[in-house]
Every structure is written in C-alpha cells, then in structure tokens.
C-alpha cells in the first residue's frame, strides 16, 4: 500500500512537470517569416521634435542627446529648429549652448519631452539591418493592398511594420508612430535599414503620406501601387516628394550629428514650402496621411 501511494505521487509529479514544459515557449525558428535573432537592447536617450511650439503638438521625430542644432528662433518655451530641412520645435529645457555659443541637444532626464528608444550593440545592429534588407527583398512582387500587413498584400506602413517585426525589432503599424519612434537624420547619412518618408504622394496635401526602407546604393524598397518594388531615390518622382530620413536601428554608441544651416535661396521642395503646406489643427496637431497609392 505504501509503495502504491509513492508511485501515485511520482506519477503526479511527472504530470505536473510535463504540463510546465509544454507551457514554455518554443524556440524561435530562423525561417523567412520569423525573427532570425534575439538581441539585447539598451535605452538610447532622445528628445521629441514637435510640429508646433506647445506640448500638445504632433511629434514628428526625435533627436539624439548631443545633436548639434541650428536654432531659427524661440516661441514660448520652445526653440524653432531646422532638422535636416524639416522645420520643428524642441522644448527649451532640452537645449544647451557650448562655449562657442553653438546649440546642442541635452536631454533633461525627468522631462516629458525626453524618451528612450531601444539601441543595439554594433554587431547586433549590423546583423539586424542585414535581416531587414533580406526579408524586404523576399517580398518583391507582393501586391499593394490598402490596409495590408501580410505577404498576401501590403500597404506602405504595413510593409515596414512586417519587415521590422519579423526581423527582430518591434514596430508600430501607424506611419505616424513609426516617425515618432525614430531619429531624424540627414539624407546623405542614410544607411541600410533606415526609413525614408515622402509627402503629398496622394495629391491631397498630406504632410507625410508614404514610407519605405533604404537598402543602400541609393535604392529604396517600398509598397507602391504596383506592389513591393525597388526604386532609385534619384528618380524625379522620389526626389520631388522626399520629406525626410529616419533611423530606427540605433547603436549604443552616440554619434554626433550636425544639422546644416538653411541656405538663403529656397526652392519649392524646401522646408519652408513643407511647413506652409502642413495642415495644423488649433491644438497644434497635424493631419498625417497614412494611405499611399501611387
């Protein structure tokens, strides 16, 4: 009888152990549709750039701690700055001057205008960018579908979300949030895996209406009206509608970025034209176009 009770206890313990093992997540597989690597991230301090000079204005991107600024003026408690030909506003508490009088970003730790974005080691970042490019290229020929987020059909931000999520970096569905969760960079600093944003591609005057992934050598892969395809950034259409470049895959090594001064002569594609074409609400919000068919 004692032996029988002991056997029942052993059987019960084995059953519990089996249930616990079954509940554990299965290891990720390195196929074309799944995350190919697991990387460790650290916080990367950045501050918000807003469309208007108030805390309720739409966030149009972020700048890294230490970034040099071209300040154009001051409105209330915000500096008006030029972010690589994109006019924006940054809270005055996020800005300091050096001994030469030059302005630079100095993120205030406890400020609501400061946030943290994930950053990777240089090795992990390089691997992640390669995975992003490879997975994006595997989707060439997939048709354009408004609202599409799968290899059965993509729209522009659905494509970028799918590629980044399935390469190992979590990304929001919204084009607006994709802009917000990335840092503003110069076009000449583009690297594989960066995002490129275009304006007014729908013809409805949208400030931001299309997004794609830079894959190097002056090329962009995106979900256009003819499906997923690779195009050259120097083509007239993309040069005309180019708005700004963004970096999503950050490294834990700070890189100083210099924002160029504005030239006196501005053409129709300048930041001044873009600023005047933006549709702003009374609260300082910004209407962003998320559908991109062209």
**CA 259 to CA 88: how far, in whole Å?**
12
What's the pLDDT tens digit per position in 262-274? 333 333 333 333 3
pLDDT band of 65, cuts 50, 70, 90: confident
8 A C-beta contact, residue 42 and residue 20: no
Determine the Cα–Cα distance for residues 173 and 185; give it in Å rounded to an integer: 21
| CA neighbor of 258 nearest in space, from 191, 189, 181 | 189
Q: Each residue of 128-152: pLDDT tens digit?
A: 999 999 999 999 999 999 999 999 9
Q: Does residue 255 or residue 91 have the better pLDDT? A: 91
Report in angstroms the alpha-carbon separations of 249 from 28, 65, 107, 146: 21, 16, 20, 26
- Both tokens of 73, joined, read 């003026």
87 strand-pairing partners? 82
The model's pTM: 0.73
The end-to-end CA distance of the chain, in Å, is 80
Contact (Cβ atoms closer than 8 angstroms) between residue 86 and residue 97: no
Which of 137, 153, 288, 269 is CA-nearest to residue 213?
Answer: 137
Enumerate the β-bridge partners of residue 245.
185, 196
């Amino acid at each position: 009888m004692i032996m029988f009770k002991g056997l029942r206890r052993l059987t019960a313990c084995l059953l519990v152990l089996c249930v616990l093992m079954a509940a554990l997540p299965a290891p990720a597989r390195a196929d074309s549709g799944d995350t190919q690597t697991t990387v460790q991230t650290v916080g990367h301090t950045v501050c918000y750039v807003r469309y208007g000079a108030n805390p309720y204005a739409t966030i149009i991107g972020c700048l890294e701690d230490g970034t040099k600024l071209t300040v154009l003026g001051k409105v209330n408690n915000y500096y008006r700055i030029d972010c690589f030909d994109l006019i924006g506003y940054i809270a005055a508490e996020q800005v300091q001057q050096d001994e030469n009088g030059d302005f630079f970003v100095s993120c205030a730790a406890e400020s609501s205008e400061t946030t943290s974005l994930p950053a990777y080691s240089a090795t992990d970042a390089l691997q992640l960018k390669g995975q992003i490019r490879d997975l994006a290229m595997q989707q060439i020929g997939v048709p354009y579908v408004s609202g599409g987020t799968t290899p059965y059909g993509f729209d522009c931000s659905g494509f970028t979300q799918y590629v980044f999520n399935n390469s190992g970096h979590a990304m929001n569905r919204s084009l607006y949030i994709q802009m917000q969760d990335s840092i503003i960079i110069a076009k000449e600093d583009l690297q594989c895996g960066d995002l490129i944003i275009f304006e007014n591609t729908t013809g409805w005057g949208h400030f931001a209406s299309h997004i794609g992934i830079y894959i190097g050598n002056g090329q962009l892969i995106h979900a256009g009206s003819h499906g997923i395809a690779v195009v050259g950034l120097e083509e007239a259409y993309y040069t005309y509608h180019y708005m700004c470049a963004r970096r999503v895959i950050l490294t834990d090594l700070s890189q100083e970025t210099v924002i160029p001064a504005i030239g006196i002569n501005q053409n129709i594609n300048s930041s001044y034209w873009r600023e005047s074409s933006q549709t702003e609400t009374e609260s300082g919000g910004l209407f962003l176009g998320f559908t991109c068919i062209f």
